Structure 1
């Protein structure tokens, strides 16, 4: 972010404090205007000619830069996968608690791996339990793959919408 006297262009396209378009003017005029209003002249992009600049209060410019940096860092991070374990004999209240946990995780932007531990012939019951949970969580996330039954567990990953 280039500001004030560090802007080397001869002309700039200036946007005012409230977003109003002040048009194209020489850099000296824009700096004079910024000093009169006791604000900073910030160059938002060097790729166009004349470069677009904004008049921003000095503290606000630093805050915007910090927020932008945090947003890009947040976007770069891959969503975490959080695992929730269940059993086919789960009580209704416990199932509701797990559903709420999954909903909170999905709303926070992370993926949920729902795992049902099975033994013996509980595979069908586990699959039915996961299908019901997927229907309830459909406004918050979509399943990545189908329900996978393997040996001692049934699992499905739900990614946030």
Structure 2
């Protein structure tokens, strides 16, 4: 027997039960009514009757535009998949004994990745006896997480992976939001020279006028 999928609920005449708990198009609770009355109300509103909780007793149905509902759900799923596919895991590698300049370079690189909506895999490469001092690696990664906290948050705390220690930091903004922000900044930068030129021209004109007076 073929099961009804959650993503494809029973609608209208396919709902074959004697009575249902009806929810109106605005989310208002109508109460338990006969299925015939629920279908009539949906038809009068030129909408669909959709079963949203089939396992309830009686089943819960809602009056809605089912075509619009399916479209919106598909768009949300598409956007979620696109954001997931576009999120790239960027790797930043450290040595346990890292100098200040190298650390700052890697921090700025990681911030750039996070601002672009990508995840960062921070990895410490242990050499020789350094493997016996994992607590130092934890402190370094915790410091790194604090330094980039403005742009990302820890998704996976420091863990040992073979001879390495790894921590995952996720962006505070998803890929789509980060890209939109970058595009807005680029657009602002393109228009800024013109406005600055206009201001300079106005200032020059004002200066000439002052000299003439």
Interval of TM-score (by shorter of Structure 1 and Structure 2): 0.5 to 0.7
- Cα 1:133–1:149, aligned 2, differ >3 Å: closer, same or farther? farther
TM-score, scaled to structure 1? 0.67
In 2, the alpha carbon distance for the partners of 1:85 and 1:156 equals 9
Q: Specify the SS of the correspondent of 2:21.
A: strand
Partner of 1:50 in structure 2?
Answer: 58
Q: How many residues align?
A: 149
Partner of 1:158 in structure 2?
Answer: 168
Q: Which stretches in structure 1 are left out of the alignment for 5+ residues?
A: 107-111
Check the 8 A contact 2:25/2:62 in 1, yes or no.
yes
CA-to-aligned-CA distance 1:69-128 (integer Å, 9 cap, x gap):
669989xxxx9865323463416354222234257435xxxxx4312457789999x846
User: Which residues in structure 2 correspond to 1:2-151 (within 5 Å)?
Assistant: 2-66=10-74, 82-86=90-94, 88-89=98-99, 90=102, 92-102=104-114, 104-106=117-119, 112-117=120-125, 127=137, 129-137=140-148, 140-141=153-154, 143-146=156-159, 150=163
- The structure where helix makes up a greater share of residues is 2
TM-score, scaled to structure 2? 0.53
- Cα 1:131–1:20, aligned 2, differ >3 Å: closer, same or farther? closer
- Cα 1:62–1:25, aligned 2, differ >3 Å: closer, same or farther? same
Query: Relative CO higher for 1 or 2, CA cutoff 8 Å, sep ≥ 6?
Result: 1
Q: Which stretches in structure 2 are left out of the alignment for 5+ residues?
A: 1-8, 173-213
Cα displacement (A) at 1:46: 1.6
CA RMSD of aligned residues (A): 4.1
- Cα 1:52–1:58, aligned 2, differ >3 Å: closer, same or farther? same
